[in-house]
Structure 1
Amino acid sequence: MSPRASPPLEALSAGMPPRYRAAVADHPQVLDWARTVAGAAVIPTREPDDRSPLDPTC
């Protein structure tokens, strides 16, 4: 029997120490930092010649 797939956040949480799982960012500096990081995030893009090795057109 194969293990059931788990959502990414559930998998991430499983690797965290229990005392951190319910942590909440409530300090103003932490919230500002998190907003700054999230605002600067970009979606990764692929170069036109960066083909997957599984791509049959390679």
Structure 2
Amino acid sequence: MKIKTLVLSLALTAAPALAFAEGCNHVKEKQAMSCATGTSYDSGTQSCLPVST
């Protein structure tokens, strides 16, 4: 009986941590860069630069 109680308590303790780890993919996702009108994103400088025609 003690082993079952120990296993159950460990499972219930670890469940929130495992659920949180599963939902932490926001760090890996990249968000699209948006620049003002007349500028474009330059990946080299990682900033918006004016568009020259």
TM-score, normalised to structure 2, is 0.34
Structure number with higher strand proportion: 2
For CA contacts below 8 A with separation 6 or more, give which structure has more relative contact order. Answer: 2
Structure number with higher helix proportion: 2
Larger Rg: 2
